[in-house]
Chain A
Amino acid sequence: MLSRPLRVWCILLSLAVTGGGRSSAAEPVAAPRTAPLALTPAEYNNTIADLLGFPRDGDRWPARPAIADTLSPPHAASKGVFVPPPPPPVWPWRFPAEPGSDGFEGIAQGQNPSSYQVEELHHAAMHFASFALVSPTFFSCATWATLPATQQETCAWMSLERFAERAYRRPLRAQERERLEAFWHANIAAGPRDQAVALTVAGILQAPAFHFRVEPGDASAGGTTAGLSKWELATRLSYFLWDSMPDETLFAAADSGQLATTEGLERHARRMLEDPKARPAIVHFHHQWLGTDKVLLVAPARRAFGPLFGISPRLDNARDDDLKWPAIMGPVRHSMQLETELFVEQTIFDGAGTFNALLTDNHGYMSDATAPIYGAHATRIPTRPTVTRTIEIVVASIGRRQSLTLYPAEFPRNERAGVLTLPSVLALGAYAVQPGPILRGKRVLERLACMDMGAPIQGAEAALPPDTLTAESTNRQRTAAATSPAACTACHKLINPPGFAFEHYDAIGRWRAQDNGQPVDASGSLTLRGGEEITFTDGIDFARKLATSNRVRDCYVLHWTRYALGNQLEETAPGLEALQERFRENDSIKGLLVSIASSDLFRMRPTGNPGDNR
């Protein structure tokens, strides 16, 4: 760890070298070296679907081919008390979550392989490999299964070669081709042809060129930076905007040199953002940014919210299992998740497309499940189409599927403003009974203002006020009292105000005018790092001011740039400032993504350090 003066000196030196953090014509600015990135669980599953030509919906995949049971025997399901669970879907594969970095996956600093993960990758490769035999895109010839033996082998090899190039996202090197061919011949010699095809595919799916994005770069240019090769750039672009491999158009663009220019990169980034694959990828980023990828685990208490949903706060018969509350909360959780996804997607792709709208827009979605949370003030918009999805929930140990319809809605402007007042975000910032101003405040500081607050001091959790229905004061008063000791104030003078801003929302995200019989006080002020001061009357006012804050917009750019590069960039990284300045001015989220994709940070890599490849 560098001492502070030394770090300052290093930053100054780097600024001097790079022209104050801006790209110069003489020497492009490269991001710090990024170690090879492994495909994240989402990237892996999307890539498999795209490689094999199947939709990103396991229900629409074909059944497991018979050969799959030989190569990758299905596990017998364990049994609950009533019935065994339904078999897992053939796609996606459920991998262990990445440890992550700052809440994001796909960042080099948050990827640490484990033996369990490697075993799962092996099982997944064996499972998906057999689907090559029924893939609409795998074989380069029609009717492979009925060809004569020699023609089958020829066709299979050509298909494998093409598959490997798509899986490795670049042409095969001569020696790679030789090794693959030798592996194929060994498999052919050892067993039936369909097994040989599947085993060879399984080998490809475990190879480093598939599972890792290795970026040796194009060192021919010399200097302290080098451009990524055309194939590396296409791959980086597609995982940034699609969470998946390049399509044929992008491969062709890379091959013909179209990605070598800023204009070419911008053109393709714009094309990719218009592709439906961009939508879930951009939503996926926002789930990680807001922490709403965990919303299916929120657990508001029946004793606090049962009556809101029309049931008693306690079980009628103490011996019974609680069948009602899980049946209510399952759809509520899914609805919260889908409302978040639809809000983010429509704001960015179909609405204003601005950061300001992301933090202030009062339109969104609701369902019958979440209608009690929004109350009578929400207005459905019948002129806009509804969205119906299938959800899965467990009640009394029996898993079931049901549909959930979400309605477009407009919410009162003094009650809802953008992502920070979504019930998903608010319920994640809460305990079972009471809202959690500390959880909410910390999220604003860390995720929106890039102010890392560190871990709480020992015993901090135990010092919080009881999470109880019966209280003598407001939640704000209790939290303020609990965090008033001297050991707490240094951090909580920063954490509490942005948390108190959302005291108009209870633990499930319902707007309230009063807390414990007293009017809610959601006012406060906050000084962001860099000196920007924000004074607000409530959460709505706060969200609007955050939306125009330079610090907050810069932070959003920093998160996106880190995500794009897979690297936990320092705030002072050269090249960031130009992206941030542009975003402050034009406020376009898609514009920001195009700017990142065409920046030197994105397409250049440093040379001459110990991580360099040859």
Chain B
Amino acid sequence: MISRRHLLQLGGLTALGAGLPGGALRAFAQGPAPTRRLVVVSHCHGWPYAAWRMRPTGKSDDQPWTLDLSSLAQSEFSKPLAPLYEHRRRLLALDGLSLATAELDTGGNRHDRGWIHAWTGNNADFAARDTRSTSASLDQLIAAHIARPDRLPSLELSVDAALEAGRPISYNLGGVRLPAESTPLGAWERVFGPASSGDAVGTRRRTTLDFAYDEYRELAPRLGATDRARLESHFGLVQRLGHRLEALATLACTAPARPAASFEKYDKRFDAFTDIIAAAFSCDITRVVSLSLGEMPTAEFGADKISDKVHKGIAHYIYDDPKKYAAMTAYLQHHARQVARLVSTLEAIPDAGGDSVMDNTLIVWGSELGDGWHGYGHYCPVLIGGSWAFKTGRYMYWPHQTPAEMRVPSQILAGGTTRLSGIPHQRLLVSVAGAMGLEVDHVGLKHVRGQRGDFIGLSGPLNGLTA
């Protein structure tokens, strides 16, 4: 065991870019099976679909098709996704999904409902003092499956305009919103703090678990085999929790420098989180991260002359004002630039077997809405990485054929309602769970009925991702 005094501290990794000192940051030695990691990224206000989509000539909107991204010139690439062009071999851009179940649910407002549906696949719990899900989010399901018992099961992070608590994208196994850490310093403390600060009260908290486990150990010889086995299954977990808290307090890891107490810029906070994620992955402190992206100041993506508010100044009016549509395109492009930096950073960290950490990471990037108008109709997630499970480097399109009515602006369709929706995104959640080794038939809802009463199955993975 290496004492916390031996923590090595580097400067910001992103600042160093790809020129990391050889071996300064290297993933822990792995066993024969590579360690898989998941990052869930969720930005606000959906996609400017017309700018996002890729439509090479000769492709029909009536039939499913796929496009090999490696054959595409930069000019043919999605404008909002342009910063990810250099990583296109890792991409799976999905065109043809929807948040149909959010449209069919009735509680909360459309943002809150969208976060719950997007990441849990389930309905909101309407009757409480806060909006809750009725089941766990994807990141938590996967964390419960792949986490090391002696490390953090997951890390919930948020970047917002101010240092506000994050937008709710992670829900625990009881359906309760998980708080997200919005300051890099707070996140750093959570990940590296126990090892660097010697939290005395934290140590004493662990002693309560030790006491409970010792009480069980004293009791166990007096129990019959059945009773002992039953209590062992509980107190074995108590012991593991104690070990995890101890391991976190004494782990050896090359940590990034302790970040500043505050960062003015959204971009800088994102980069600081990128460093923390990279170090946490390289040290195997956690294998699952959710990154909730809240309001970005408009000056950071060059739209401050249009409005100082993304949400109520720009996003709501994308179909009313072409300038605002263009601003949302720039907003999404800026997020793509941030995500691309995360990918580059993870690519620069060697992993076992000659891979990079990115080679063993899957980034799922989605949103709580289909568009800034509050529509759920075009849900356009991007998968980055996960090539051990998915055939990446593609753009996939499916026509909308699901019998759920989706609200759209009358500028798009007279009457304001489509008769059909895209494939409910729950199928993607199943695919992602499967890629992370969690074989499930469904995530969240198993089926719903459309407004006209049609049965809509939500089980099974998306077809063609692995082909």
Chain A interface residues toward B at CB < 8 A: 33, 35-36, 38, 70-71, 75-82, 84-86, 88, 94-97, 108, 112-116, 118-120, 122, 125-126, 175-176, 179, 183, 186-187, 190-191, 195, 199, 202-203, 206-209, 211-212, 214, 216, 296-297, 299, 301-303, 318-319, 321-322, 325-326, 329-330, 333-334, 391-394, 396-397, 399-401, 431-434, 461-462, 464-470, 609-614
- Residues of A near B216 (CB, < 8 A) are 207-208
Q: Closest B-chain residue to A432, C-beta based?
A: B449
CA distance A401 to B130 in the complex (A): 11
Kindly state whether residue B131 has any CB partner on chain A within 8 Å. yes
Separation in Å of the B18 CB from the closest CB of chain A?
34
Contact of B449 among A120, A333, A467 (CB under 8 A): A467
Report the count of interface residues on B (CB-CB < 8 A). Answer: 88
A318 engages B407 (CB within 8 Å): yes
A297 engages B126 (CB within 8 Å): yes
B218 engages A175 (CB within 8 Å): yes
Q: A80-B112, A203-B211, A464-B455 are in contact. Are A36 and B230 (CB under 8 A)?
A: yes
A-B contact pairs, 7 of them (CB 8 A): A203-B208, A208-B215, A216-B223, A319-B374, A330-B127, A397-B131, A467-B449
Contact of B452 among A114, A118, A296, A468 (CB under 8 A): A468
Separation in Å of the B124 CB from the closest CB of chain A?
8
Q: Closest A-chain residue to B416, C-beta based?
A: A318
Kindly state whether residue B209 has any CB partner on chain A within 8 Å. yes
CA distance A609 to B226 in the complex (A): 9
Q: A79-B294, A84-B165 are in contact. Are A114 and B447 (CB under 8 A)?
A: no
- Residues of A near B409 (CB, < 8 A) are 318-319
Give the interface segment out of B197-205, B330-338, B394-402. Answer: B197-205
A296 engages B172 (CB within 8 Å): no
Chain B interface residues toward A at CB < 8 A: 105-112, 123-131, 134, 144, 149, 153, 158, 160, 164-168, 172-174, 176-182, 200-201, 204-205, 207-209, 211-212, 214-216, 218-219, 221-227, 230-231, 233-235, 237-238, 240-241, 292, 294, 311, 373-374, 407-410, 416-417, 446-447, 449, 451-455, 457
- Residues of A near B214 (CB, < 8 A) are 179
A333 engages B127 (CB within 8 Å): yes
A79 engages B231 (CB within 8 Å): no
Q: A78-B166, A466-B452 are in contact. Are A190 and B204 (CB under 8 A)?
A: yes
- Residues of B near A95 (CB, < 8 A) are 174
CA distance A191 to B215 in the complex (A): 23
B127 engages A216 (CB within 8 Å): no
Q: A122-B209, A191-B200, A206-B211 are in contact. Are A114 and B173 (CB under 8 A)?
A: yes
- Residues of B near A206 (CB, < 8 A) are 208-209, 211-212, 238
Q: Closest A-chain residue to B221, C-beta based?
A: A614
- Residues of A near B207 (CB, < 8 A) are 183, 186-187, 199, 203
Separation in Å of the B320 CB from the closest CB of chain A?
11
Q: Closest A-chain residue to B415, C-beta based?
A: A318
- Residues of B near A76 (CB, < 8 A) are 165, 179, 181-182
A179 engages B215 (CB within 8 Å): yes
B201 engages A70 (CB within 8 Å): yes
- Residues of A near B408 (CB, < 8 A) are 318
State the 5 A-B residue pairs at the shortest beta-carbon distance, nearest first.
Answer: A468-B453, A466-B453, A85-B130, A611-B226, A206-B212
Separation in Å of the A450 CB from the closest CB of chain B?
26
B374 engages A396 (CB within 8 Å): no
A612 engages B105 (CB within 8 Å): no
- Residues of B near A610 (CB, < 8 A) are 224-226
- Residues of B near A401 (CB, < 8 A) are 129
Q: Closest B-chain residue to A190, C-beta based?
A: B204
- Residues of B near A113 (CB, < 8 A) are 233-234, 237
Contact of A462 among B176, B240, B447 (CB under 8 A): B447
Q: A77-B130, A78-B292, A462-B447 are in contact. List 18 more A-B contacts (CB 8 A).
A: A78-B167, A78-B179, A79-B167, A84-B165, A96-B173, A114-B237, A115-B241, A119-B241, A122-B241, A175-B218, A187-B207, A202-B208, A206-B211, A206-B238, A212-B234, A330-B127, A397-B112, A397-B131
